Every structure is written in C-alpha cells, then in structure tokens.
Amino acid sequence: MIKKILIANRGEIALRIVRACRELGIHTLAVYSEADEQSLHVQLADEAICIGPASSAESYLRADRILSAAEIGDIDAIHPGYGFLSENAEFAEQCESCNIKFIGPRSETIKKMGDKSMARETVAKAGVPIIPGSDGPLANEIEATKVAQKIGFPVIIKAVSGGGGRGMRIAHNAVSFAKEFLAAKMEAEKAFGDGSLYVEKYLENPRHIEFQILADNHGNMVHLGERDCSVQRRHQKVIEEAPSPFLDKNLRTRMGKAALKAAAAADYVNAGTIEFLVDAKGNFYFIEMNTRIQVEHAVTEEATGIDLIKEQIQIASGQRLSLSQKDIVLNKHAIECRICAENPSKGFIPSPGEIDLYYAPGGHGVRVDSHAYGGYQVSPHYDSMICKLITYGRTRKIALDRMYRALSEYIIRGIDTNIDFLKAVILDPAFRQGEATTSYIETFLARAPKDLLEKPVKESRK
C-alpha cells in the first residue's frame, strides 16, 4: 500500500485528496506556490513545500520542482488532481522513470488519449461512434477549410492537445472559418504549447454526457453511470448532475457499453471519463477521454456512494477493484454547482480579492467541497472556482430543492460570486424540466430580463 503521497495541485481538489488520504492512513505532502501559502490544503496536509512564485508556469506546471519536492519528501506516489500536469504524458513518464507511482493511467495511455485525433482513431477502431471530422491534425487554414467544406458547416475547430474549452472555436461558414482557425491556433499555442488543430462537424444543441470509468491493473473495468454536463458557458461546465434527466434505461446501457469499449481500446487503468455528445434523437458520439479525475466527480460519488479518490489510490497501490458492474447502482440523484469568484452582471468578469465573511450551507443532502474561508485571498493567478456545492436526494426534485436552499444559505462577502445566477438557473422551468442542452445558458441569458442578476429571484418550483 502507498504510504506517502505528494499532491501536485491546489485548491479544493488538493484538499479533497488530503481528506481521502487521511481516511486511508496515508501521509500527505502538499506543494504550493507563494500565493497559496495560507491555502487550506497547505494547512491540513502533514507536510508542505513551496515550489515557486504565484504564476502556475513557475510553480504548479514546473515538473522539475515538483519532482525535487518529491525527492526531498521521500514520497511513494504523486496525485496530480485535475488541470495543471494531470494529463501531461511527459510528467507521468518522468514519475515512472523515478520509480514514483503516478496516480492515473500510464504515460502512453495519456499520450494516446490526450491527442484528440489519435483518440478518435482509437475508439473508432473499437466500434464506438465518432463525429465526422478530419482524420488528424490539419497543416494550415487552407487545408482545414477544404475539410470543413467537405464535412459541411457549422463545424467546430479543436486543439489536438486541448481541454477546458481552450483552443476551441465554432465556424458557421467559410468566411468566418479562417479567422476562427487562426484564433484557435493562437489560443492553443498559448495554453498548451501546441497549436495543432482538427475539425469536427458541430452538433447544434446536443447534450454533453460523460461516463465515469474505473479500471485496475488486473483486467477489471466498470463504469459508474453517467453525468449530464450540458449546462456550460463558453465550453466550461457550470452545473453537472447524475444521472442525466435525458437518458432512458436503454440509451444508458448502450452508452455505458460504448464507454467501456473506448476505455478498453486505450488499455486504460485508474479513473477516467469518456465524454459523448448526444442529439435529440438519442444518437451519441465520442468526443474525448479525460485521463484524470474530473472536477465534477463528486456527483457520481453521491449518486453511487463510491469514493473515487480512494479507488484511484487503491488501484495505484495494485489492488483489485472491489466492485463489479452489477454492484453499481445510481440510487440517488446528485447535482453540482460550480461557485466562482466572478460577476455575472458584468460579463462574468473574475472577482479576485479577500473574502471578508464566509458561511457555507449544510444540512441533510448537502456537500461542500471548498478551500475558501473568511480571510482567504482569492488569487487572480488561478481559476475563479472557489467551491463545488453538491446536493443529493432520492429524486431529482429533492436534489434541486436542496440546491436552491443551499445556495440561499451561502454567504460570501468581499468578492462577487455567481450564486444569484445559479439560483436563477435552478428555478428556471426549462432547467427544472430537464430540457437543458449545451446552448442552454446562452438562450437563458438571451430571454432573461437584463437586470435579472441584480434583482432577488422569485421562487417558482413547479
């Protein structure tokens, strides 16, 4: 069994890993930037080492500094969390060469599934449906335009090494395509150091459904059902839930089998996620695999009762999965809202600064994953998410009503947050009826009164 883990991340996921390790009796070493010296994960870990200045490029993205901390701390394994180096095949390979367990898949798997064009080819060979698109990275906008015209507009341009909505643009015609292609290329180069792009047919108003996978080193693999992540803004997820209000039993079964096929084709080990787009008729298409724990893993944990972080650690320790597919039941409905330091009434502009007062909601069916507290300084150097609020219950309505109640209890003063915006969405009839697609937020904001986010929300829970 692993005895000591270095947590190569920050914020709520680092704290989440500290808690799982403590329950397993595993010693933890936190690494942190100068901006995160007072962060909760630093305070609650058994040990902590500073690895550089506030900029993530000089701290959390510096593999050499993390590995130096690992040597100083004499650790057995590294948990990368999500973001930063979690899907960096070179970092995973460096861990392997240093005889450090990387709590995630093998480096060759990360490389195969991180390259989105290679991932498409891999799963297509396994018989998993994929969206029509280019066969591989495109050399330039001229070649890409020819492919786009062959596929038919609208198309979506994606970074081969992308994630989190970066390096992604939609083009509705040939006139706008070249401009969007160049913009995506520049953004991809800046975010990932790789400007390679590919093109896919753009499905209008689909659902974004992902399946959670667990696989051990002994050939055992299961899926833990789906999460509906359709509520997005600029390709960034805002609200997630499990199970999806859209899938029926038959579609869930077919998609679950396809997800397992895709993971098996990648020779996958540890926790990962297969993501699909689903059209109104129930046709589904593979879009990518995330070779790490997801931000929204908590909704699957609450819907199934399975601790995914512990499972990751146990798999990395060489243990067999303790569950088979028949053991996995989604016996609760869970919903997650991402609470961010931002101002929705001003175009969701980030709102860094000091939190003067912090009061988190509680009660039956409420979970708060957050590194924030009164006096905490929200840094402008990192993602604006300060909390994941999860509610759950026997039915979707119970989970929704608890979410509205919990959001109403949340008090965060000193910075702006999107709490009132989330309350408005939770009460919106279209969302409550399970009608949200990936274009939901755009249409919601378009039909909502301009001053909606500046007025108290009127309750309507039908």
Active site residues: 292
Distances (CA, A) of 410 to 195, 232, 392: 41, 22, 17
Question: Which DSSP string corresponds to 121-147?
Answer: HHHHHTT--B-SB-SS-BSSHHHHHHH
Chain-centroid distance of CA 279 in Å reads 21
Q: Cβ(270)–Cβ(316) under 8 Å?
A: yes
Within a 10 A sphere around the Cβ of 305, how many other Cβ atoms?
A: 12
Which tokens is 36 given?
Answer: 């995160």
Chain-centroid distance of CA 3 in Å reads 27
Residue 53, preceding bond cis, omega within 30 degrees?
Answer: no
Cα separation, 192 vs 205, in Å, equals: 28
Which tokens is 356 given?
Answer: 């003067």
Which tokens is 148 given?
Answer: 């786009």
Cα separation, 14 vs 8, in Å, equals: 8
Burial class (CB in 10 A: 0-12, 13-18, 19+), 61: middle
Within a 10 A sphere around the Cβ of 210, how many other Cβ atoms?
A: 26
Q: Which of 170, 284, 162, 155 is nearest to 228 (CA)?
A: 284
Q: What are phi and psi of 182, to 5 degrees?
A: -65, -40
Burial class (CB in 10 A: 0-12, 13-18, 19+), 248: exposed
Q: Which of 166, 158, 151, 159 is nearest to 201 (CA)?
A: 151
Q: Facing residues of 222 across strands?
A: 214
The bridge status of strand 342-343 relative to strand 366-370 is unpaired
Q: Cβ(333)–Cβ(390) under 8 Å?
A: no
Which tokens is 405 given?
Answer: 């109640």
